[in-house]
Amino acid sequence: MGKIGLLPVKDNRPIQTLRELFVRWLESGRVSALLVPAVSPAGIAAPVLWSDPEKASQIYPLLPVMGINSAGVVAEIAADKAEGSRLGVVLRPCELRAVVELIKLQQIARDNLVLIGVDCAGTYKPTTLVNELKSDAGELENWITGFLTAQDRYLKDERLRRACQLCEFPVPLVYDVALGFLGVNPKEQLLIQSASELGDMLLSEVNISPVAAVPAERQVYLDHFIQNRQEQAVRMIADFDRTALGPEKLVRYFAHCINCHNCMKVCPVCYCRECFFDSEVLKRDLDGYIRVSRRKGLNRMPADTLLFHLTRMNHMMTSCVQCGICEDSCPAGIGLSVMFRKVSREAQAAFEYLSGRSLEEPLPLTTFREDEFRQIGED
Amino acid sequence: MSFEPKIVGFLCNWCTYAGADLAGTSRLQYPPNMRPIRVMCSGAVDSVYILRALLEGADGVFIGGCHPGDCHYVSGNYKTRRRMVLFNSIMRALGLDEGRVLLRWISAAEGKKFADTVTEMTERLRQLGPSPFRKLWEV
């Protein structure tokens, strides 16, 4: 179990090569359909559920655009075990990590999925690229290929989503099949790896040149890439600390929250059917609100916005994958991505946990040991 | 008038609440600053209750549960302990870790420990002063 190979790229077209790879799996029946990034003839970038090989020209695997975290879509369409259908999901590392968390939260049935992970060097918001996503298919494919081969340019591009600028997970962690372009010269070849029997089977259907290990130059490039991103994370978190730490600054940081709950709705791992904050629990009647107003003199409306954010952090930080889609959805422009990156990684570190790293690692709040954290609760 | 902290206390029905009862029936003196709320298990205290108390003007929050190994529901307090680790790490990451939230294991036999704990916590909060969220109410 676990093969590594190089997939030859024809005519300097990695995107077309991946389309052909996926068509092969669709035609062999290994997957019934694929959830994969696409761009419509009208220039609309979005994930699609793709089953017809004839439509391959609209499929753009490795498209560096992220409007949603597709793990949420997977949870919506593949929550329950299905007979006979197998869904291939082509996902970025952060999306795969969210899928892993959702499988552990019993929101996705693993049995129906083929996890196809792809390298990610960073993504743009769809709105950032509104003029670049040309409807001309050839131009678009060239643009993406240019991005994939840009090497260090995406380490400095300030138009990338902020969550991507400090992301140190360019490669998938849990997958059946992983497809890599970083550090392998994607105009000539792509790296293909399997990590399960199912993945081995998928690889055996494709003409690849097997290699013994991940090419050394890829590892060297990934180390360089990750180190750059980590240094960027230190800088961005230091900026965050200066503007947000402590009660006064934190209240100001969240001051313009309009209580829309978008951050919760788009969050892939925020999985409750009904959020506590959408329930009636915290609502008062008019007498109640006036009683609070009299106690405080005046009461900010809508109420409980800071309570919402702090509670959401307590509920979700152990599964947060730092995808930053919450920030993109915030109409008030609150800098959630850097905050969540900092808070979630520190919270997860307290339990030696990393979200999405493994299907076997139990969720921190579903397990315990008798002989841990002994100082908590003692004098 | 000098500052008197308000403490919201979540006391587990089986241990700490009974310990508080014992402190009372033993006529132990301790400051009247804690408003006790009886809960069936310390593991039932979601962070939203702690946070709401703090944001709505409590100066401190106390959570009392059975000693590890003694939980009436076998493992509720172990889960409380993990949740406190999470809560503390989040508060620390946001610069809000002022020691205003205290978890203590106090059994039904430890009336004295309950009285001492409330005394100590009240004293510490008197030193610390009012919760900063009180004056930030208007924002």
Cα separation, B27 vs B19, in Å, equals: 12
- For chain B, the average pLDDT equals 95
Task: Name, of A285-299, B98-112, B123-137, the range with top average pLDDT.
Answer: B98-112
pLDDT of residue A128: 84
For A358, phi then psi, to 5°, come to -155, 145
Q: CB–CB of A350 and B48 under 8 A? A: no
Taking Cα atoms as reference points, which of A71, A80, A132, A45 lies closest to residue A322?
Answer: A71
**Which one, of A97, A364, A194, lies nearest residue B89 by Cα?**
A364
A181, A13 in Cβ contact below 8 A?
no
List, as own/partner pairs, every contact residues A24-31 make where C-beta atoms lie below 8 angstroms and the sequence separation is at least 24, other chains included: A24/A205, A24/A206, A25/A88, A25/A202, A25/A205, A26/A50, A26/A51, A26/A53, A27/A53, A28/A205, A30/A86, A30/A88, A30/A114, A30/A201, A30/A202, A30/A205, A31/A86, A31/A87, A31/A88, A31/A114
Please check whether residue A145 is in contact with residue A113, taking contact to mean a CB–CB distance below 8 angstroms. Answer: no
Say what the pLDDT of residue B83 is. 97
Cross-chain CB nearest to B87 (options A247, A304, A314): A314
pLDDT at A133: 67
Contacting residues of B for A375, CB less than 8 Å apart: none
Q: What percent of chain A has pLDDT above 70? A: 99
Q: Are A164 and A123 in contact (CB under 8 A)?
A: yes
CA distance A157 to A275: 36
Q: Is the peptide bond before A302 cis (omega within 30 degrees of 0)?
A: yes
| pLDDT of A130 above 80 | no
pLDDT-derived band at B97 (thresholds 50, 70, 90) equals confident
Neighbouring-strand partners of residue A342: none
Q: Report CB contact under 8 Å: A315, B47.
A: yes
pLDDT in tens, B39-85: 999 999 999 999 999 999 999 999 999 999 999 999 999 999 999 99
pLDDT at B135: 78
* Residues of B in Cβ contact (< 8 Å) with A282: 52
Q: Which of A339, A368, A379 sits opposite B82 (nearest CB)?
A: A368
Closest Cα in chain A to B93: A343
For the stretch A131-140, pLDDT in tens is 766 668 888 9
Judged against a pLDDT cut of 70, whether residue A46 lies above it is answered with yes
- Check whether A2 has a pLDDT greater than 50: yes
Task: Decide if pLDDT at A87 tops 80.
Answer: yes
Q: Which SS3 state, helix, strand or coil, does residue A115 take?
A: strand
- pTM of model > 0.90: yes
Find, among A242, A68, A225, the residue nearest to A154 by Cα: A225
- Helical (H) or strand (E) element with A18: helix A14-28
> Which residues of chain B does A343 touch, with a Cβ-Cβ cutoff of 8 Å?
90, 93-94
Q: What is the pLDDT of chain A when averaged over all its residues?
A: 95
Residues of chain B with C-beta less than 8 angstroms from the C-beta of A370: 68-69, 78
Query: Sorting pLDDT into bands at 50, 70 and 90, what band is A83?
Result: confident
CB contacts under 8 A, A 62-121 vs B, are: none
ipTM score for this prediction: 0.96
Confidence of residue B137 (pLDDT cuts 50, 70, 90): low
Interface of B with A (CB under 8 A): 46-48, 51-52, 55, 57, 65, 68-69, 75, 77-87, 89-90, 92-96, 103-105, 132-133, 136-139
Q: What DSSP string runs through A286-355?
A: HHHHHHHHHHHSS--SS--HHHHHHHHHHHHTTT-----HHHHT-TT---HHHHHHHHHHHHHHHTT--T
What is the spatial distance between Cα A191 and Cα A218, in angstroms, rounded to a whole number?
A: 9
A343 vs A329: CA distance, rounded Å: 19
Range of the domain at B96: 7-134
pLDDT tens per residue, range A152-202: 888 889 999 999 999 999 999 999 999 999 999 999 999 999 999 999 999
pLDDT at A136: 80
Say how far apart CA A274 and CA A336 lie, in whole Å: 22
Residue A376 CA to residue B8 CA, distance in Å, equals 19
Q: Is B80 inside a domain boundary? A: yes
The whole-angstrom separation of Cα A278 and Cα A281 is 8
CA-wise closest residue to B49 among B89, B94, B80, B77: B80
Task: Give pLDDT, residue A343.
Answer: 98
**pLDDT-above-90 percentage for chain A:** 89
Mean pLDDT of A344-356: 98
Phi-psi region of B113 (alpha: psi -120 to 50; beta: other; left: phi over 0): alpha
In the predicted model, is pLDDT for residue B92 greater than 70? yes
**Which of B48, B113, B116 is the best residue to mutate to test the A interface, defined by the most A CB atoms within 10 Å of its own CB?**
B48
**Which element (helix H / strand E) includes A166?**
none
Q: Regarding predicted confidence, which is higher, A154 or A339?
A: A339
pLDDT at A151 over 80: no
The pLDDT assigned to B139 comes to 47
Is A244 within 8 Å of chain B by CB? yes
Give the pLDDT mean for A261-272.
Answer: 97
A350 touches chain B (CB under 8 A): yes
What is d(CA B35, CA B9) in angstroms, rounded to the nearest whole number? 6
Number of structural domains (chain B) is 1
The closest CB to that of B86, out of A311, A314, A372, belongs to A314
What number of C-beta contacts closer than 8 Å exist between A and B? Answer: 123
Q: What is the pLDDT of residue B94?
A: 97
Quickly count: other Cβ atoms within 10 Å of residue A274's Cβ. Answer: 7
CATH of the domain at B44: 3.40.50
Q: Is A245 on the interface with B (CB under 8 A)?
A: yes
A5-44: pLDDT as tens digits: 999 999 999 999 999 999 999 999 999 999 999 998 888 8
Domain ranges of chain A: 4-229, 240-376
**Of A248, A351, A373, which has the smallest distance from its Cβ to B132's Cβ?**
A248
Q: Which residues 6+ apart lie within 8 Å of B129 measured at CB?
A: B3
From CA A65, how far away is CA A42, in angstroms rounded?
16
A247 pLDDT band, cuts 50/70/90, is very high
Chain B interface mutation, best of A257, A313, A345, highest count of B Cβ atoms under 10 Å: A313
Whether B28 has a pLDDT exceeding 80, the answer reads yes
Instruction: Specify the 3-state DSSP secondary structure of A256.
Output: coil
pLDDT at residue A218 is higher than 90: yes
Q: What is the DSSP letter of A206?
A: S
Tokens 């890829």 belong to A218
- For residue A124, the 8-state DSSP code is B
Nearest to B103 among A249, A365, A377 (CB): A377
What is the CB-side half-sphere exposure of residue B40 using CA atoms within 13 A? 3
Q: Hey, how many other C-beta atoms are within 10 angstroms of the C-beta on A52?
A: 9
Amino acid at B30: Y
Say whether pLDDT at A379 is over 80.
Answer: no
Q: How far is B96 from chain A (nearest CA, A)?
A: 5
Q: Which residue of A has its CA nearest to B98?
A: A246
